[in-house]
Protein backbone atom coordinates (compact mmCIF):
# COMPACT_ATOMS: atom_id res chain seq x y z
CA UNK A 1 0.00 0.00 0.00
CA UNK A 2 1.08 3.56 -0.57
CA UNK A 3 0.43 6.70 1.46
CA UNK A 4 1.26 10.12 0.05
CA UNK A 5 1.53 12.77 2.77
CA UNK A 6 0.91 16.42 1.94
CA UNK A 7 2.66 18.36 4.68
CA UNK A 8 4.47 21.64 5.19
CA UNK A 9 6.80 19.87 7.63
CA UNK A 10 8.00 16.60 6.04
CA UNK A 11 10.95 16.48 8.43
CA UNK A 12 8.57 15.60 11.26
CA UNK A 13 8.07 12.14 9.75
CA UNK A 14 11.73 11.10 9.78
CA UNK A 15 11.72 9.60 13.32
CA UNK A 16 8.52 7.66 12.61
CA UNK A 17 9.88 6.11 9.42
CA UNK A 18 13.30 5.17 10.81
CA UNK A 19 12.68 4.23 14.45
CA UNK A 20 11.06 1.39 16.34
CA UNK A 21 9.79 -1.95 15.19
CA UNK A 22 7.33 -0.48 12.67
CA UNK A 23 10.21 0.85 10.58
CA UNK A 24 10.27 -2.63 9.03
CA UNK A 25 6.99 -1.84 7.31
CA UNK A 26 8.40 1.33 5.76
CA UNK A 27 11.85 -0.02 4.90
CA UNK A 28 10.40 -3.12 3.22
CA UNK A 29 7.82 -1.15 1.27
CA UNK A 30 4.85 -2.89 2.89
CA UNK A 31 3.75 0.63 3.73
CA UNK A 32 5.21 2.90 1.06
CA UNK A 33 5.30 6.51 2.28
CA UNK A 34 5.92 9.53 0.05
CA UNK A 35 6.21 13.05 1.46
CA UNK A 36 5.08 16.10 -0.51
CA UNK A 37 5.62 19.72 0.51
CA UNK A 38 3.14 22.20 -1.01
CA UNK A 39 5.87 24.85 -0.93
CA UNK A 40 7.56 22.98 -3.75
CA UNK A 41 4.49 23.69 -5.89
CA UNK A 42 3.84 27.27 -4.76
CA UNK A 43 4.62 30.33 -6.88
CA UNK A 44 6.57 33.50 -6.22
CA UNK A 45 9.85 34.20 -4.48
CA UNK A 46 8.39 33.34 -1.08
CA UNK A 47 6.66 30.12 -2.15
CA UNK A 48 3.58 31.25 -0.29
CA UNK A 49 1.19 28.53 0.85
CA UNK A 50 -1.18 30.51 3.09
CA UNK A 51 -3.03 33.82 3.31
CA UNK A 52 -5.42 35.77 5.54
CA UNK A 53 -9.00 34.63 5.81
CA UNK A 54 -11.75 36.50 3.96
CA UNK A 55 -14.07 38.06 6.50
CA UNK A 56 -11.27 38.71 8.94
CA UNK A 57 -10.29 36.84 12.05
CA UNK A 58 -7.07 35.46 13.47
CA UNK A 59 -4.77 33.01 11.78
CA UNK A 60 -3.99 32.04 8.22
CA UNK A 61 -5.61 29.63 5.78
CA UNK A 62 -3.79 27.19 3.47
CA UNK A 63 -4.13 28.23 -0.17
CA UNK A 64 -6.05 25.96 -2.55
CA UNK A 65 -3.78 26.35 -5.60
CA UNK A 66 -0.51 24.95 -4.13
CA UNK A 67 -2.51 22.03 -2.71
CA UNK A 68 -4.12 21.39 -6.09
CA UNK A 69 -0.73 21.38 -7.83
CA UNK A 70 0.69 19.06 -5.19
CA UNK A 71 -2.23 16.68 -5.59
CA UNK A 72 -1.83 16.78 -9.37
CA UNK A 73 1.82 15.81 -8.99
CA UNK A 74 0.84 12.94 -6.70
CA UNK A 75 -1.77 11.67 -9.16
CA UNK A 76 0.79 11.74 -11.96
CA UNK A 77 3.32 9.88 -9.83
CA UNK A 78 0.90 7.20 -8.61
CA UNK A 79 -0.55 6.59 -12.10
CA UNK A 80 -3.55 4.73 -10.72
CA UNK A 81 -6.52 3.55 -12.69
CA UNK A 82 -8.62 4.31 -9.62
CA UNK A 83 -7.36 7.43 -7.79
CA UNK A 84 -6.57 6.95 -4.12
CA UNK A 85 -8.89 8.83 -1.75
CA UNK A 86 -7.80 12.17 -0.33
CA UNK A 87 -8.07 12.24 3.46
CA UNK A 88 -8.05 15.39 5.58
CA UNK A 89 -7.45 15.30 9.33
CA UNK A 90 -9.96 17.68 10.87
CA UNK A 91 -12.30 18.15 13.88
CA UNK A 92 -15.40 17.24 11.85
CA UNK A 93 -14.00 13.88 10.76
CA UNK A 94 -15.03 10.44 11.94
CA UNK A 95 -13.06 9.32 15.00
CA UNK A 96 -10.28 6.88 14.15
CA UNK A 97 -10.82 3.45 15.75
CA UNK A 98 -9.62 -0.13 15.44
CA UNK A 99 -12.12 -1.11 12.75
CA UNK A 100 -11.08 1.83 10.59
CA UNK A 101 -7.38 1.06 11.07
CA UNK A 102 -7.97 -2.60 10.18
CA UNK A 103 -9.74 -1.50 7.01
CA UNK A 104 -6.92 0.86 6.05
CA UNK A 105 -4.36 -1.89 6.69
CA UNK A 106 -5.92 -3.91 3.87
CA UNK A 107 -6.35 -1.00 1.46
CA UNK A 108 -4.19 0.36 -1.34
CA UNK A 109 -3.49 3.49 0.72
CA UNK A 110 -4.49 7.13 0.38
CA UNK A 111 -3.39 10.72 0.03
CA UNK A 112 -3.20 12.22 3.53
CA UNK A 113 -3.57 15.99 3.78
CA UNK A 114 -2.11 17.53 6.92
CA UNK A 115 -3.78 20.88 7.51
CA UNK A 116 -2.07 23.74 9.33
CA UNK A 117 -2.96 27.18 10.72
CA UNK A 118 -6.73 27.84 10.69
CA UNK A 119 -7.29 25.11 8.13
CA UNK A 120 -7.59 24.59 4.38
CA UNK A 121 -9.46 26.70 1.83
CA UNK A 122 -12.91 25.12 1.84
CA UNK A 123 -13.07 25.08 -1.96
CA UNK A 124 -10.21 22.57 -2.09
CA UNK A 125 -11.90 20.49 0.60
CA UNK A 126 -15.22 20.48 -1.26
CA UNK A 127 -13.61 19.61 -4.57
CA UNK A 128 -11.01 17.01 -3.67
CA UNK A 129 -11.29 15.69 -0.10
CA UNK A 130 -13.26 12.44 0.10
CA UNK A 131 -12.89 11.58 3.78
CA UNK A 132 -12.13 13.44 7.00
CA UNK A 133 -10.66 11.79 10.10
CA UNK A 134 -10.34 12.99 13.70
CA UNK A 135 -8.25 11.62 16.58
CA UNK A 136 -10.67 13.05 19.15
CA UNK A 137 -12.26 16.19 20.49
CA UNK A 138 -9.15 18.32 20.75
CA UNK A 139 -7.09 20.50 18.40
CA UNK A 140 -3.55 19.83 17.22
CA UNK A 141 -1.17 22.32 15.62
CA UNK A 142 -1.45 20.36 12.39
CA UNK A 143 -2.47 17.07 10.87
CA UNK A 144 0.99 15.53 10.99
CA UNK A 145 0.54 13.82 14.36
CA UNK A 146 -2.79 12.40 13.22
CA UNK A 147 -1.18 11.12 10.01
CA UNK A 148 1.61 9.49 12.02
CA UNK A 149 -0.95 7.83 14.29
CA UNK A 150 -2.71 6.32 11.28
CA UNK A 151 0.55 5.21 9.66
CA UNK A 152 1.84 3.60 12.86
CA UNK A 153 -1.43 1.80 13.55
CA UNK A 154 -1.58 0.50 9.97
CA UNK A 155 2.11 -0.49 9.86
CA UNK A 156 1.96 -2.72 12.94
CA UNK A 157 -0.84 -4.75 11.37
CA UNK A 158 1.25 -5.69 8.35
CA UNK A 159 2.54 -9.29 8.19
CA UNK A 160 6.09 -9.69 9.47
CA UNK A 161 6.33 -6.27 11.12
CA UNK A 162 5.88 -7.37 14.74
CA UNK A 163 8.17 -10.03 16.20
CA UNK A 164 5.17 -12.14 17.21
CA UNK A 165 2.73 -12.50 14.34
CA UNK A 166 -0.21 -12.88 16.72
CA UNK A 167 0.67 -10.16 19.21
CA UNK A 168 -1.64 -7.52 17.78
CA UNK A 169 -4.58 -9.92 17.69
CA UNK A 170 -5.06 -9.56 21.44
CA UNK A 171 -4.65 -5.80 21.64
CA UNK A 172 -7.40 -3.71 23.14
CA UNK A 173 -10.40 -3.19 20.81
CA UNK A 174 -9.48 -6.25 18.74
CA UNK A 175 -12.24 -8.69 17.69
CA UNK A 176 -10.33 -11.47 19.48
CA UNK A 177 -11.25 -9.64 22.70
CA UNK A 178 -14.76 -8.87 21.45
CA UNK A 179 -13.71 -5.23 21.13
CA UNK A 180 -12.94 -4.88 24.83
CA UNK A 181 -9.80 -3.76 26.70
CA UNK A 182 -6.77 -5.99 27.07
CA UNK A 183 -5.86 -7.57 30.42
CA UNK A 184 -2.91 -6.35 32.56
CA UNK A 185 0.60 -7.62 31.82
CA UNK A 186 3.50 -8.48 34.16
CA UNK A 187 7.16 -9.40 33.79
CA UNK A 188 10.22 -10.10 35.97
CA UNK A 189 10.88 -9.86 38.86
CA UNK A 190 8.10 -11.96 40.36
CA UNK A 191 7.91 -9.59 43.33
CA UNK A 192 8.48 -5.86 42.95
CA UNK A 193 8.06 -3.38 45.81
CA UNK A 194 6.28 -6.10 47.80
CA UNK A 195 3.77 -6.66 45.01
CA UNK A 196 3.68 -10.14 43.50
CA UNK A 197 2.63 -11.25 40.04
CA UNK A 198 -0.90 -12.78 40.15
CA UNK A 199 -0.66 -16.45 41.03
CA UNK A 200 -2.80 -17.44 38.03
CA UNK A 201 -0.09 -16.22 35.66
CA UNK A 202 2.54 -18.25 37.53
CA UNK A 203 0.54 -21.49 37.50
CA UNK A 204 1.63 -22.72 34.08
CA UNK A 205 -1.96 -23.87 33.52
CA UNK A 206 -2.95 -22.43 30.15
CA UNK A 207 -6.70 -22.73 30.70
CA UNK A 208 -6.48 -20.97 34.08
CA UNK A 209 -4.32 -18.23 32.57
CA UNK A 210 -6.75 -17.74 29.68
CA UNK A 211 -9.68 -17.52 32.10
CA UNK A 212 -7.86 -15.00 34.31
CA UNK A 213 -7.04 -12.82 31.32
CA UNK A 214 -10.62 -12.94 30.08
CA UNK A 215 -11.96 -11.96 33.48
CA UNK A 216 -9.46 -9.12 33.82
CA UNK A 217 -10.44 -7.88 30.37
CA UNK A 218 -14.08 -7.89 31.47
CA UNK A 219 -13.24 -6.15 34.75
CA UNK A 220 -11.17 -3.37 33.19
CA UNK A 221 -13.68 -2.77 30.43
CA UNK A 222 -16.57 -2.58 32.90
CA UNK A 223 -14.65 -0.10 35.04
CA UNK A 224 -13.17 2.13 32.37
CA UNK A 225 -15.12 1.61 29.14
CA UNK A 226 -18.61 0.32 29.94
CA UNK A 227 -19.67 1.43 26.48
CA UNK A 228 -17.38 -1.21 24.96
CA UNK A 229 -18.77 -3.82 27.30
CA UNK A 230 -22.30 -3.00 26.23
CA UNK A 231 -21.31 -3.18 22.56
CA UNK A 232 -19.79 -6.62 23.15
CA UNK A 233 -22.95 -7.71 24.91
CA UNK A 234 -25.20 -6.47 22.11
CA UNK A 235 -23.01 -8.25 19.55
CA UNK A 236 -23.36 -11.53 21.44
CA UNK A 237 -19.72 -11.53 22.52
CA UNK A 238 -20.35 -12.20 26.22
CA UNK A 239 -20.90 -15.78 27.35
CA UNK A 240 -22.90 -16.92 30.36
CA UNK A 241 -19.60 -17.41 32.14
CA UNK A 242 -18.65 -13.80 31.35
CA UNK A 243 -21.96 -12.50 32.67
CA UNK A 244 -21.65 -14.62 35.81
CA UNK A 245 -18.20 -13.17 36.50
CA UNK A 246 -19.48 -9.62 36.06
CA UNK A 247 -22.31 -10.28 38.52
CA UNK A 248 -19.90 -11.69 41.08
CA UNK A 249 -17.48 -8.83 40.58
CA UNK A 250 -19.85 -5.89 40.66
CA UNK A 251 -23.13 -7.08 42.11
CA UNK A 252 -25.00 -6.22 38.93
CA UNK A 253 -24.38 -5.80 35.22
CA UNK A 254 -23.01 -2.46 34.02
CA UNK A 255 -25.80 -0.47 32.41
CA UNK A 256 -25.80 0.89 28.89
CA UNK A 257 -25.50 4.48 30.16
CA UNK A 258 -22.22 3.66 31.88
CA UNK A 259 -23.45 4.01 35.48
CA UNK A 260 -21.12 2.01 37.70
CA UNK A 261 -21.97 -0.07 40.73
CA UNK A 262 -20.74 1.21 44.09
CA UNK A 263 -19.00 -2.12 44.58
CA UNK A 264 -15.49 -2.35 43.19
CA UNK A 265 -14.95 -4.64 40.26
Q: Which domains does the chain have, with CATH numbers?
A: 2-155 (3.40.1280.10), 171-250 (1.10.1270.20)
Q: Residue 257: what pLDDT? A: 53
Indicate if 91 belongs to the active site: yes
Q: What share of the chain is helix, strand, coil (3-state, %, to 5)?
A: 40, 15, 40
pLDDT at 235: 97
* 176 pLDDT more than 70: yes
Q: Tally Cβ neighbours within 10 Å of residue 259.
A: 9
- Kindly give, in sequence order, each residue whose CB lies less than 8 Å from that of residue 103, ignoring residues fewer than 6 positions away: none
Q: Which of 156, 213, 214, 219 is catalytic?
A: 156
Of 117, 141, 134, nearest to 62 by C-alpha is 117
pTM score:
0.87
Catalytic residue among 24, 78, 85, 171: 171
Report the candidate in 166, 6, 159, 146 with the shortest Cα–Cα distance to residue 71: 6
Q: Band of the pLDDT at 134, cuts 50, 70, 90? A: very high
CA dihedral 54, 56, 57, 58 (to 10 degrees): 80
Mean pLDDT across the chain: 92
- Residue 252: pLDDT over 70: no
Catalytic entry in 39, 78, 83, 118? 118
Query: Percentage of the chain surpassing pLDDT 70?
Result: 91
Q: What is the pLDDT of residues 84-118, one digit of tens each?
A: 999 999 999 999 999 999 999 999 999 999 999 99
113 near 55, Cβ under 8 Å? Answer: no
Catalytic-residue membership of 85: no
Confidence of residue 225 (pLDDT cuts 50, 70, 90): very high
Does residue 38 have an active-site annotation?
no
- Inter-CA distances, 136 with 110, 114, 231, Å: 21, 16, 20
Sign (positive or negative) of CA dihedral 157, 8, 11, 37: positive
What stretches of 94-198 show up as alpha helix (H) in DSSP?
Answer: 98-105, 122-128, 144-155
Catalytic residue among 40, 80, 91, 190: 91
Amino acid sequence: MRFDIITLFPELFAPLLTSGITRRAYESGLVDVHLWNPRDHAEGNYRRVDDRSFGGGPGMVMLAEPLFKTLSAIRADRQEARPAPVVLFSPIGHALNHDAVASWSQSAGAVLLCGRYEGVDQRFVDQYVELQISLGDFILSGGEIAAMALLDAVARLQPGVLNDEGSHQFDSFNPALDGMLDSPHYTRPEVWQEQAVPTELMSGHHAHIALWRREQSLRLTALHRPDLLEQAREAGGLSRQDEAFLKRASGRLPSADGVQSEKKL
